[in-house]
Amino acid sequence: MKPKYIFIISLFSTILSAQVQKDSLQHVAQINLLVKKKLIERKADRLIFNVEASIASQGMDASETLANVPMLKVDENMGSISITGKSTVNVMVNGRMLNLSGNALLNYLKSIRSENISKIEVITTPPSKYEAQGNSGLINIILKKNPNLGFSGNINTNLIQRTYSGFSSNGSINYQTEKFSSSLRLSYYDSAKRTDENYTIIGASQNYSNSIRRDMWNELTPTLNLSYKISKNSEIGMEYIYAHQKSGMNIVNTTKNITSDLQEENLLTHTFHREKLPTHTLSAYYDLKLDSLGKKLSIAGNFYKNNSDTEVNFSTLKSSDNSTQDVKTTSLISPQIFSAQADLELPFSFGTIETGVKFNQFKNSSDIKYFNLAAGQYIPDLSRANLFRYQEENYAAYFSYAKSFGEHWETKAGIRYENTNAESATPSSNTKNKYHYGQWFPSAYVSYKEDKNVFSFSYSRRINRPSMGNLNPFRWYSNPYSYSSGNPLLTPAYINNWELGYTFNNKFSTSIYYLRMKNAFGQISTIDEISQVSNYLNYYNNNSWGINASYTDTFFKFWETSIAMNATLQNSTVFNIDAKTQKGSSFGYSINNTFTLNQKKTLALYLNYTHSLPYKNVNSYFQAFPELTSGLKLSLMEKKLQINATVTNIFAQRYKGTLYFTDNTQYMDNYWDGRSFRLSVNYTFGSNKKKISKKNINFEEKGRAE
C-alpha cells in the first residue's frame, strides 16, 4: 500500500483526468480537506485536537488518543483524566456527558477506536449551555459522521498483564438506511490488580497502616442505539444501556497504634468485599430543524437507576489479648436520576443565540446494616446501622450570544442560572437537613486570529457539588475501630476560571490561567486512640496561577513529537481544621514520540515520558513521579486489523506524599500496580457506502450517583 499522501494525490489526479461523476469529485474534495486539516486549532471557547491529522493517534483506542492531546493526562492507575495542572474533567462524546469515572470510564473509552474519532475538544472554561457542575472543564470527543449505510461493525480484544492478568472485549454491529439507524454494542471486561497502600499518622498518638489489596472488576454491558428520521427536518432517537457489574476486594491490613501514653496495639484484619451493581440508563431525544438557515429545537430526557448490593466481611485479630472479632456489613444503595431539557439554537445575520431550560431530580436511599458474629450467629448492631435518604431538584435556564466580526474576531457570552433544592434525612438519628441555593454562572469568550496567530480570552464560573459518597454519613469500617464516612452537611464549592491563550501556526499553544476555588472540600483523616477516622469537610480556599505550553510537529516525515509543560503557583487558606498550609508550586513536562518504521506507515514505535516534579498544594507535599511508556503499533489488511503492544510505567514508580497538620503529620506511600503489559487486537468490517450521522444525548448528572 502506498503512503497516504501519495495515494491521495494519485487518486485526485486520476479522478480529474477521468472526469468522473460529481459525487466522486465531492468525495475527493473531502479527502483534500482532510489533508489540509491542522493538528491544533483554537476557538473562542475551546482548543481542538484533530485526531485525523495526528500520526501518533492512529490505530489506538480513545483513552490512548486522549493521552496524545496536549495538556491532557490519562492516569490508568488512578482511573482519572485531567488537564495538566488542574483537576479531573468530565468527558463527553458528541456533546453527551458520559459521567463515568475510574475503570468504568476508561473501559468505555477503550471501546471507541481512534479511526472513528474526528477531533477532541478541550473546554477549560465551559460555556453556559453546559451544566455548571465540575471544577475544571470538559473534554468533548467528536466522532466521525458514521456509521456506513448497510452493515458494519468492529471487534476488539485487549489483554493486560499486571500482577494479575485480565482482559476486555467489545464488539459492535451497525445497520443504517437513509432514515433508520441502529447500533448494538456489547462490551465485557474481567480484570484485577494488586494495591499496596501505606498510611502513617505521627502526632501525640501514632498510627501505622499497611494494606495489601487485590481489586477485581467484572462487567457485561450491552448498549442499544436507535434513531429514525421522520422527515428531512425532524428526527427521534433513543439509547439504552444496561451494565451488569460485579466488583470485589480481598484486603490484608496490618495496623500498629501507639497511644499518647505509649501503649501499643497491633491489629491484623482480613477483609472480603463483594458488590453487585446492575445499572439502567435510558435516554431519548427529538430534534426539529425550524428552517434551512440552521435554527433548531432539541428536546431530550434521561433516566438512570442502579441498585448497589454490597456485602463486606472482615475478621480482626487484636494482639493485646489475642482476641478475634468477626464483623459483617451489608448495604443496599439505590440512586435514581431523571432529567429533561430543551435547547433552542437560533442563528441570525446579527449573531447566534442559544437558549434553553433544564430540570433534573436526584434521589438516593441507602440502607446499611452492621453485624457482629457471636456464638456462630450474626447479631445486628443497631448503633452502627444507617438509613439515609437524599433528594435534590435542580432547575436551570441559560442564554448565550455568539458573534463573529469579519475574519479576525470571534466572541461569545452567556449566563446560566441554577436553582437547587436539597433535603437529606437520617431516620436512625432523627436528623434532617435542608438546603436551598440559587446561583448565576456567567461565561465570556473572545478570540482574535491574524495569519498564523490566534489569541483568546475566556472566563466562566462553576460549581462543584458533593457526590453521594461524600454526603452519606454511614461509617465504612476497615476494622472494628477505624472507619471513613461522608458528611451530609457538606456544601458546594465555587470556582472562577480566567484563561488567556495563544496558538501559533497550529503547532505551538500556550495559556496562562487563574483559578479561584472557594469552600472546597476533601477527605481528612484523624486518630483517636486506636481508631483512624476519615471524614469529608469543607476546609479550604485556593488561588492558583498557572501556565501551560505545548508544541507538536513532524520531523523527517517519520517522527511526530509532542512536548508539553505546566507550571503553577498556589496559595491557600484553611478553615474547620488546624493545618499548616504550603506555598504551593508545581512543574511537570511530557515528551511523546511516535516513529514510523516502514514506508507504508503500517509499523510504528512510540516512546512517551512524563515527569511531575515535587509539588505542594494547600497542606500537602508530593514527591516527584516520572513515568516511561513504550509500545509498538502494527496495521494490516489496509488498516482494518490493528495490533498494539504497550508497556506502561516501566520503572514501577510509587506515589508518595505528606500532609501537614498543626497536631500531626501524615505520610502516604502507595503503589497501584501501574506497570503493565497490554496487547490489543482490533478488526473493523462492513460496508463502505455513504455515511450518515448519529445523534448522542446529553446526560450530565449521572456521575454524582457515585
Q: What is the rounded average pLDDT for all residues in the chain?
A: 86
Count of all residues that appear for the chain in the document: 706
Pairing of strands 615-617, 620-622: antiparallel
- Which H or E element spans position 62? helix 62-67
Residue 184: pLDDT band (50, 70, 90) is: very high
The confidence score (pLDDT) of residue 9 equals 37
Cell of 32: 483534500
Distance CA 499, CA 510 (A): 10
> Please, which residues have CB within 8 angstroms of residue 8's CB and are 6 or more apart in sequence?
31, 32, 35
Tens of pLDDT, residue by residue over 431-463, are 888 889 899 999 999 999 998 999 999 999 999
Cell of 527: 486518630
The confidence score (pLDDT) of residue 12 equals 37
Q: What is the DSSP string of 616-669?
A: EETTEEE--EEEEEEEEEEEETTTTEEEEEEEESTT---EEEEEEBSSEEEEEE
Cell of 626: 516520572
The beta-carbon contacts of 647-653 under 8 Å, at least 24 apart in sequence, are 647/675, 647/676, 647/677, 647/678, 648/76, 648/674, 648/675, 648/676, 648/678, 649/77, 649/674, 649/675, 649/676, 650/675, 651/626, 651/627, 651/675, 653/625, 653/626, 653/627
Distance CA 630, CA 192 (A): 22
The confidence score (pLDDT) of residue 82 equals 81
Q: Evaluate the CA torsion angle 53, 56, 60, 64 in order and state its sign.
A: negative
Q: Of the segments 129-138, 276-285, 464-473, which one has the largest average pLDDT value?
A: 276-285
Tens of pLDDT, residue by residue over 510-562, are 999 999 999 999 999 988 777 889 999 999 999 999 999 999 888 888 898 99
Select the more confidently predicted residue: 39 or 319: 319
State how far the alpha carbon of 236 is from the alpha carbons of 226, 309, 455, 691, in Å. 9, 35, 39, 18
What mean pLDDT is predicted for residues 202-216? 93
Residue 334: closest CA among 358, 360, 310: 310
Residue 361: pLDDT band (50, 70, 90) is: very high
Residue 395: closest CA among 449, 358, 348: 358
The confidence score (pLDDT) of residue 40 equals 85
Percent of the chain with pLDDT over 90: 54
Q: What is the DSSP string of 450-488?
A: ETTEEEEEEEEEEEE---HHHH---EEEEETTEEEE--T
Q: Give the HSE-up count for residue 516: Cα atoms under 13 Å, Cβ half-sphere.
A: 5
State how far the alpha carbon of 657 is from the alpha carbons of 198, 624, 675, in Å. 11, 9, 20
The confidence score (pLDDT) of residue 6 equals 39
Select the more confidently predicted residue: 517 or 31: 517
Percent of the chain with pLDDT over 70: 89
Q: Is the pLDDT score of 702 beyond 90? A: no
Do the beta carbons of residue 671 and residue 196 sit within 8 Å?
yes
Tens of pLDDT, residue by residue over 158-177, are 899 999 999 989 888 989 89
Do the beta carbons of residue 524 and residue 507 sit within 8 Å?
no
Cell of 213: 489489596
Show the domains of the chain with their CATH numbers. Answer: 37-705 (2.40.170.20)
Tens of pLDDT, residue by residue over 36-86, are 567 888 887 888 999 888 877 877 788 888 888 887 888 776 677 887 766
The confidence score (pLDDT) of residue 60 equals 79
- Which H or E element spans position 63? helix 62-67
